[in-house]
């Protein structure tokens, strides 16, 4: 076959050559239609995805098969090796077969060649399939445009609903966080979290408040600030509990004290759990902090109230006993004192038994004073109540107070010169102050200790009075006080709870009646006591008396006695 054979030479191969060109064109159209259809199918579900993938694969297959078919036909017509055409161009092919690809007079040729060969059937299939697929592609492109609008509207609505739902969720989260914060504040319950891997430390606002901190204190040194707030006596216990939590993977309840910036002491309880990661390693420690201060104070007040009731019961029992003993002793003293007076009246001034009788009378007077003290326990003692200046009452026993303070302490006096008057028995008040100073001096162990006595007036609220010890139903208002404080070792809780118990003493050589007498004096004179004491920081006792409306009566410094009555006759004495 000659090499200058043309595609348009009517040598009997015209129909075949025309079909070759038509097959190429319609195969290209079929591939384009398949591609367009695969791109324009709507995205509804997985079936369409499979259809799109299938159409794309079919388009590639048709293009590849048609290309191979064309190469084979070229080889068949012009005897050109197929491998020499692969990777070439139509320009090289045209030069090789010495012809130009032109489309002249193509309209004068039949669209389909004669015969029923297999390439004619392929040509018909390609023509109608390509036309159908191109029309289907345009149809689905229109449908897909509407579908895209619907899908965009649907996506926009779903996005709107999602945004609204997220906003609602964030609002619910804020409300939940606010509710949690308020609940923790009401319950005085805080929380904290420690991440072992990162070392981060998170703490709630209520926990910060319990430690006396604020949100401004958050930072890298927050843990150090919290540790400084822990009471110095409890820091080792807290460190040991933290190490045990890491080693034993458990944090049992632990109670300790913290000192906020205001100087008050708070009692808190902490309890936590260890959380583990997927590998079973401890990852986080989550714990709660409960402020027990109010509960502890309420328990202490309850114990103090119970102690007051018990002391009152003891004093009542002791008073009944002391009243009976004092009554019997007074009966015997009456005989002793009466007979000694009669003997003295019979003796001359220079007779030797006179001095011995005087000693008997002195001992009898001391015994009488002891009986009066015993009667005070029973509430049957004789009281000379009058309106007095409390500063003058204490100042008049200045020398006695300095003797009671002994050489182990320095006595300091601070007086308000003109406090409001109070009503009470001067002797009993003075005895109570002396007992307090003596008790303070006995508790002092250091050489540079100081005992301070103050007098003054203050206005007491109901809350202040409610916190007082052994206080009745007094109304708020102005009160006059005597305060006795020392810088000694102070008292622990057990000693403090029993300080007014009859016969209770920490000194074996003492009787333990001094503080009981102080309590009875204030109960008899309508006063009350506030105790301020702390182990290692000394003791302060504040004695308060309600202001009297009666004017102060002038009181001499020396007692005057009427001259002894003398006469003869018989005397009848009746004593109950």
pLDDT of residue 363 exceeding 70, the answer is yes
CA pair distance 439, 404, nearest whole angstrom: 9
pLDDT of residue 96: 47
Q: What average pLDDT does this structure show over 438-456? A: 82
In this prediction the pTM is: 0.46
pLDDT of residue 309 exceeding 50, the answer is yes
pLDDT tens-digit readout, 259-291: 887 778 889 998 888 888 888 888 888 888 899
Q: Predicted confidence band at 305 (pLDDT cuts at 50, 70, 90)?
A: confident
pLDDT tens-digit readout, 235-255: 888 888 878 777 777 778 889
pLDDT of residue 1 exceeding 60, the answer is no
CA pair distance 250, 449, nearest whole angstrom: 47
pLDDT of residue 381 exceeding 70, the answer is no
Q: How many CA atoms lie within 13 A of 544 on its CB side?
A: 26
Name, in order, each residue with C-beta under 8 angstroms of 42's C-beta and a sequence gap of 6 or more. Answer: 48, 140, 143, 144, 147, 148
Name the more confident of 279 and 311: 279
pLDDT of residue 246: 72
Q: Across-strand partners of 542?
A: 483, 530
pLDDT of residue 98: 42
Contact 528, 470 (CB under 8 A): yes
Q: What average pLDDT does this structure show over 390-404? A: 87
pLDDT of residue 115 exceeding 60, the answer is no
Report angle CA 497, 500, 504 to the nearest 5 degrees.
Answer: 90
């Amino acid at each position: 076959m000659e090499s200058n054979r043309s595609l348009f030479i009517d040598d009997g191969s015209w129909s075949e050559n025309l079909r070759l060109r038509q097959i190429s064109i319609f195969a290209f159209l079929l591939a384009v239609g398949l591609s367009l259809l695969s791109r324009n199918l709507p995205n509804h579900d997985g079936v369409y995805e499979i259809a799109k993938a299938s159409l794309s694969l079919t388009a590639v297959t048709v293009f590849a098969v048609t290309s191979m078919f064309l190469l084979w036909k070229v080889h068949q017509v012009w005897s050109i090796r197929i491998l020499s055409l692969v990777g070439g161009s139509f320009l090289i092919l045209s030069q090789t077969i010495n012809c130009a690809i032109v489309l002249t007079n193509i309209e004068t040729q039949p669209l389909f060649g004669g015969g029923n060969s297999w390439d004619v059937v392929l040509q018909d299939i390609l023509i109608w399939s390509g036309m159908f697929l191109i029309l289907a592609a345009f149809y689905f492109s229109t449908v897909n445009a509407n579908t895209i609008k619907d899908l965009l509207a649907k996506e926009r609505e779903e996005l709107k609903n999602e945004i609204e739902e997220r906003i609602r969720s964030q609002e619910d989260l804020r409300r939940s966080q606010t509710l949690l914060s308020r609940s923790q504040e009401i319950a005085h319950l805080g929380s904290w979290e420690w991440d072992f891997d990162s070392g981060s430390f998170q703490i709630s606002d209520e926990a910060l408040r319990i430690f006396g901190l604020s949100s401004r204190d958050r930072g890298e040194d927050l843990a150090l600030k919290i540790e400084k707030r822990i009471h110095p006596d409890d820091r080792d216990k807290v460190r040991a509990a933290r190490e045990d939590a890491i080693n034993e993977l458990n944090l049992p309840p632990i109670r300790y004290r913290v000192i906020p910036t205001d100087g008050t002491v708070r009692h808190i309880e902490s309890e936590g759990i260890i959380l583990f990661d997927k590998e079973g390693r401890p990852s986080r420690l989550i714990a709660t902090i409960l402020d027990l201060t109010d509960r502890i104070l309420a328990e202490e007040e309850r114990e103090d109230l119970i102690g007051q009731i018990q002391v009152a019961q003891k004093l009542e029992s002791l008073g009944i006993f002391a009243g009976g003993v004092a009554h019997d002793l007074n009966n015997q003293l009456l005989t002793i004192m009466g007979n000694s007076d009669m003997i003295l009246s019979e003796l001359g001034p220079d007779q030797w038994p006179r001095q011995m009788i005087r000693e008997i009378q002195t001992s009898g007077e001391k015994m009488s004073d002891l009986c009066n003290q015993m009667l005070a326990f029973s509430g049957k003692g004789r009281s000379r109540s009058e309106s007095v200046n409390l500063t003058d009452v204490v100042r008049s026993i200045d020398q006695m107070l300095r003797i009671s303070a002994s050489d182990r302490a320095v006595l300091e006096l601070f007086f308000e010169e003109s406090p409001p008057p109070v009503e009470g028995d001067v002797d009993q008040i003075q005895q109570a102050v002396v007992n307090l100073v003596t008790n303070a001096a006995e508790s002092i162990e250091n050489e540079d200790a100081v005992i301070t006595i103050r007098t003054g007036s203050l206005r007491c609220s109901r809350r202040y009075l409610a916190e007082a010890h052994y206080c009745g139903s007094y109304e708020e208002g102005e009160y006059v006080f005597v305060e006795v404080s020392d810088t000694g070792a102070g008292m622990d809780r057990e000693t403090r709870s029993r300080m007014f118990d009859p016969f209770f003493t920490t000194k074996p050589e003492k009787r333990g009646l001094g503080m009981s007498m102080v309590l009875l004096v204030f109960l008899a004179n309508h006063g009350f006591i506030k105790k301020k004491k702390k182990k290692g920081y000394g003791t302060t006792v504040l004695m308060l008396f309600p202001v009297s409306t009666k004017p102060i009566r002038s009181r001499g410094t020396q007692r005057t006695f009427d001259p002894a009555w003398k006469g003869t006759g018989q005397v009848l004495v009746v004593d109950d």
